[in-house]
Amino acid sequence: MSAQSNPADAASAGTLAFDRAQGPSGRAPAAGVTVGPYAGAAATEPVACYACGSQRATHFMEAQDDLTGKPGRFRFVRCDDCALVYQNPRIAADRIADWYDDEYIAHRKKSDFGLLTPLYRWAMDRHDRRKAALVRRYVALDASSRVLDLGCGAGTFLARIKATTGAHATGVDFKDLSGLPWMDAIDFRCGRPQEQAFDRPFDVITLWHFLEHDYEPQATLAQARGWLAPRGRMVIEVPRLDSVSFRVFGNRWPGLQAPQHTVLYSRDTLLAMVERAGLEVIEWLPWGAFPAYFYLFAGVAFKLLRGRGLDLGRAVGPYFVGEALAAPLLLFEKQLNLAMQTVVVARRGGQ
Ligand SMILES: [Zn+2]
């Protein structure tokens, strides 16, 4: 698919890329929808459904880069055959790294927010503690355990696992942040999952908000399945499309995170994808380690800012004030289907 695209011609006419993406059905966008150009001046490419390979899809939603305010409009479609929602056209595979600069939130080295710095650090550390607690529900880790985190970003979760359990910690990310001081304790591999090879299986493989960014999610799951020990567990967290926050915020839903989020998973499409990869569902949860509150805060902010981008330095104060006010609601985060979902899987039949 990407091999056929011509970045130069796609850049000059995102509409062309979209039209081609419609495939043999020749389906026109829904009435009232403005057609492109999409993604501003960025090179785009059409893509078939990540789950079933179908090229028949219907317009779902148009989004902006609400997080950073970079220009461009991005289209999500819904597969006519399996209902997966994905970005189409997408940023060309050889250009997507441009959208993960040093300000990208999961890769941020910045942690100086003045008087609020201790609160910010506490919140980031809390996120890693929540990840570790979620893993501990399914697997007891010790120094003999092996943990792999796909899309490890700045690696703080693995550093925590290593420090608290002694487990061997391996991280994969296409962005090389191995220069961060705590990364010394981690076996870091730079690149995509498909480019990796491991000679021993893992007891735990985690994908924290990775699969919605992945250009090959079905292949990644199949690959990870092959690396999982017979009694190992894989923990996969992604935003939940069929959640309350999506219904409230619509095209300003933080889970759209265009253009970095290439696939938007409902409960059903996520479960279908893991099962197609030969994985067995141990448990599915309507929450995750990532705070649903972030989506509530960012959703309100994105509505107000209307695509101008969120200045994290200015938002950090209101963020914590809002979290304190929302505390009674957040007590029920695990029951309210606010924004996230997590699926815990094993190799089917333990094989
Ligand atoms: Zn499909």
186-220 per-position pLDDT tens digit: 999 999 999 999 999 999 999 999 999 999 999 99
Cα(198) to centroid of ligand 1, in Å? 31
Domains, the chain, ranges and CATH? 1-99 (no CATH), 107-239+273-350 (3.40.50.150)
Angstrom distance (rounded) from CA 204 to CA 222:
15
Cα(246) to centroid of ligand 1, in Å? 21
Cα(289) to centroid of ligand 1, in Å? 28
Cα(83) to centroid of ligand 1, in Å? 6
Taking the alpha carbons of 11, 13, 17, 18 in that order, is the dihedral positive or negative? positive
Cα(24) to centroid of ligand 1, in Å? 15
pLDDT, averaged across the chain? 85
Angstrom distance (rounded) from CA 343 to CA 280:
10
281-299 per-position pLDDT tens digit: 999 999 999 999 999 999 9
Question: How large is the average pLDDT for residues 181-186?
Answer: 90
Cα(312) to centroid of ligand 1, in Å? 36
* Global confidence as pTM: 0.85
Token match 């902010």: residue? 301
DSSP string, 298-339: HHHHHHHHTTS---HHHHHHHHHHHHHHTHHHHTTTTTTT-S
Cα(148) to centroid of ligand 1, in Å? 28
